[in-house]
C-alpha cells in the first residue's frame, strides 16, 4: 500500500472521529434554530463557545504536538513522555478551572449573563475534562489506533445529541426558561464526562511525573505552539466575539446585534464542514509527517499530499457551495439572511487546511517560533480587518477578513518554508483548482432555477462534470502515486 493510500485511510478513520461526530452534532442546528432558540439566544451560545475554544488553547498549552514530537523520537521513553505531558496539562487546567469557578460571578457579569454564574462553572468543567483526555487521545493517534479514537468521539456526540433532545424536547414539562441556553452547556458537560469512562484505563495508568530536562524541552517546544494556537483561535473565533461589539446599531434593520451574531453563528456552522475535513486530515497527517521525516523522498511526498488535499477540499467547496438551496433548510428561515457568507468561509477554511500542510517544515526543523510569528501576524490581520470591515459590511466583512487572513498565513508560510525546508509544491496547479472552483460556485449560484428538482439535477451534473475533468487531468499522477 502506498504511503498516500495509508494516509488517506487514516484520514477516513479519523474523519469518523471528527467529521462524523460534528456532522451528527450538525443535527442539533435544526433543533436549536428552528425549534427552541431565537437568533438572539443562539448568539449567546455562539459567543460563549467561541470563548471556550479560545481558552481551551491555554488549557492544552501545545502539549499534544509536543507529545508527538518527543514520543516519536527513536530513543524516547514514551511512557515517561506521556506522564510528563499529562502532568503538565492537568496542572495547568486544574489551576485555571479553579480560578474560573471561584470568580464565576464577576465573569458571568462581564460575559453578559449576570444571572447565570453556573454557566461559567459548567464550561470551566467542560474545558477541564477536554484537557484531561487530550493527551490520552493523542497517544491513540501516535499508536495508530484511529478506530478506537473515532468510537470514543462518536459515542460522545451521540450522548450530547440525546441529552439536547431530552432537555429541550422530551422533558419539555420540566424545561426551565430561566436556564434556557444553559441546557446546551449542561448537556456538553455530561457528555464530556463519558470520556473519563472511555479512557479510564489510560487515566488510571498515568502517574504524576516531573523530569526537569524533559519538561523544559517539551515546554520550550510547546510554548510557541500554544501561542500559535491562541493566534489561530483568534483568527477563527474573533469575529464571533466582536461582531456584537463593532456592528453599528440597526446595521441590519429590525435586528439587534445579538440577533445578527446568532445568524452569523448559525451560518458559520455550514462553513465548519470544510473545517471538519481539515481537522480529520490534520489528525492523520501530523503523526504521518513526523514518522516520514527521515525519508529522503519526503519533500516530494509532502508536495503530492498537499496537491491531492487541495483537490479534495475544492470538491467539498463545490458540493456545499452550490447546494445551499437545500442545505439552508437545516436552520430556521430567520437565519437565511446570512447564507451569502458560506462560500467565503469555506474558501477561508480551505486555505487554513493548506496552511496546516505547509507548517510541516517548521515542525520538522524545530523552528516552531516561525509558526508563532505567522499566526500572530494572522491574528493582527484578523483584528484589524474585522475592525475596519464589520462597520461597513457586517458579518460579510468578518467573512472576508477570515478568508484574507488564512490566505496570507498560507502564502507567508510557503515563502518562508522554501528557504529552510524546500518542498516542491504545485502552487500554480493548486491555485488554478481553487480559483476555478470558486468561479464555478458563483456562476452556478447566479443561475436561478425555481424548480428544486431541476436545480438539484443541474447541480449534480455540474459535480459529475467537475469530477470527470479532475480525473482526466490527474489520472496519470493518480495511477503513479496512489495506485
**Which cell numbers in the block locate residue 105?**
460571578
Whose CA is closest to 339, among 319, 321, 314? Answer: 321
For the chain, give the mean pLDDT: 85
Terminal Cα distance for the chain, rounded: 8
* CA–CA separation, 164 and 177 (whole Å): 15
Helix (H) or strand (E) holding 167: none
Among 6-10, 102-106, 409-413, 446-450, the minimum mean pLDDT is found in 6-10
Among 7-16, 102-111, 199-208, 237-246, the minimum mean pLDDT is found in 7-16
DSSP annotation of 335: G
Cell numbers 451574531 label which residue?
Answer: 261
Angle between helices 117-142 and 146-165 (to 10 degrees): 160
Higher-scoring residue by pLDDT: 68, 207? 207
DSSP string, 160-199: HHHHHHIIIIITGGG--TTTTTHHHHHHHHHHHHHHHHHT
Enter the pTM of the model.
Answer: 0.76
Q: How confident is residue 483, by pLDDT bands cut at 50, 70 and 90?
A: very low
Q: Cβ(296)–Cβ(340) under 8 Å?
A: no
Q: What is the CA radius of gyration of the chain?
A: 22
* CA–CA separation, 439 and 350 (whole Å): 15
User: Is 50 exceeded by the pLDDT of residue 1?
Assistant: no
Whose CA is closest to 289, among 421, 132, 439? Answer: 421
- In tens, the pLDDT along 27-41 reads 788 888 888 888 888
Q: Cβ(155)–Cβ(194) under 8 Å?
A: yes
Percent of the chain's residues with pLDDT above 90: 36
Cell numbers 479512557 label which residue?
Answer: 199
User: Is 80 exceeded by the pLDDT of residue 294?
Assistant: no
Amino acid at each position: 500500500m502506498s504511503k498516500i493510500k495509508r494516509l488517506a485511510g487514516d484520514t477516513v478513520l479519523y474523519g469518523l472521529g471528527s467529521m462524523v461526530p460534528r456532522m451528527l452534532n450538525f443535527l442539533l442546528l435544526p433543533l436549536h434554530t428552528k425549534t427552541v432558540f431565537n437568533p438572539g439566544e443562539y448568539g449567546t451560545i455562539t459567543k460563549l463557545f467561541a470563548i471556550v475554544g479560545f481558552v481551551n488553547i491555554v488549557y492544552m498549552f501545545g502539549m499534544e504536538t509536543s507529545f508527538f514530537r518527543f514520543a516519536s523520537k527513536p530513543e524516547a521513553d514514551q511512557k515517561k513522555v506521556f506522564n510528563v505531558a499529562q502532568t503538565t496539562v492537568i496542572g495547568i487546567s486544574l489551576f485555571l478551572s479553579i480560578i474560573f469557578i471561584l470568580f464565576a460571578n464577576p465573569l458571568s457579569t462581564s460575559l453578559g449573563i449576570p444571572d447565570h454564574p453556573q454557566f461559567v462553572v459548567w464550561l470551566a468543567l467542560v474545558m477541564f475534562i477536554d484537557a484531561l483526555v487530550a493527551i490520552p487521545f493523542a497517544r491513540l493517534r501516535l499508536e495508530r489506533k484511529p478506530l478506537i479514537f473515532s468510537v470514543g468521539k462518536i459515542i460522545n456526540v451521540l450522548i450530547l445529541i440525546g441529552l439536547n433532545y431530552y432537555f429541550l424536547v422530551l422533558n419539555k414539562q420540566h424545561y426551565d426558561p430561566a436556564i434556557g441556553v444553559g441546557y446546551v452547556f449542561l448537556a456538553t458537560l455530561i457528555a464530556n464526562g463519558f470520556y473519563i469512562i472511555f479512557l479510564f484505563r489510560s487515566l488510571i495508568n498515568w502517574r504524576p511525573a516531573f523530569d526537569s530536562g524533559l519538561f523544559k524541552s517539551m515546554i520550550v517546544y510547546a510554548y510557541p505552539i500554544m501561542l500559535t494556537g491562541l493566534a489561530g483561535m483568534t483568527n477563527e473565533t474573533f469575529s464571533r466575539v466582536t461582531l456584537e461589539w463593532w456592528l453599528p446599531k440597526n446595521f441590519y434593520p429590525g435586528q439587534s446585534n445579538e440577533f445578527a451574531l446568532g445568524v452569523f453563528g448559525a451560518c458559520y456552522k455550514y462553513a465548519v464542514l470544510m473545517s471538519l475535513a481539515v481537522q480529520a486530515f490534520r489528525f492523520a497527517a501530523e503523526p504521518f509527517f513526523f514518522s516520514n521525516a527521515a525519508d529522503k523522498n519526503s519533500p516530494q511526498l509532502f508536495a503530492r499530499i498537499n496537491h491531492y488535499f487541495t483537490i479534495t477540499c475544492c470538491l467539498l467547496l463545490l458540493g456545499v457551495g452550490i447546494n445551499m438551496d437545500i442545505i439552508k433548510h437545516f436552520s430556521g428561515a430567520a437565519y437565511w439572511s446570512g447564507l451569502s457568507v458560506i462560500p467565503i468561509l469555506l474558501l477561508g477554511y480551505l486555505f487554513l487546511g493548506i496552511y496546516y500542510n505547509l507548517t510541516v517544515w517548521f515542525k520538522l526543523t524545530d523552528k516552531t517560533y516561525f509558526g508563532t510569528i505567522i499566526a500572530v501576524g494572522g491574528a493582527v490581520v484578523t483584528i484589524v480587518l474585522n475592525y475596519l470591515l464589520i462597520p461597513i459590511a457586517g458579518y460579510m466583512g468578518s467573512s472576508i477578513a477570515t478568508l484574507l487572513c488564512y490566505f496570507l498565513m498560507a502564502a507567508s508560510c510557503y515563502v518562508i518554508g522554501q528557504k529552510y525546508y524546500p518542498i516542491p509544491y504545485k502552487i500554480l496547479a493548486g491555485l488554478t483548482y481553487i480559483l476555478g472552483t470558486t468561479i464555478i460556485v458563483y456562476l452556478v449560484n447566479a443561475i436561478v432555477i425555481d424548480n428544486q428538482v431541476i436545480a438539484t439535477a443541474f447541480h449534480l451534473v455540474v459535480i459529475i462534470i467537475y469530477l470527470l475533468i479532475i480525473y482526466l487531468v490527474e489520472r496519470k499522477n493518480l495511477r503513479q502515486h496512489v495506485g
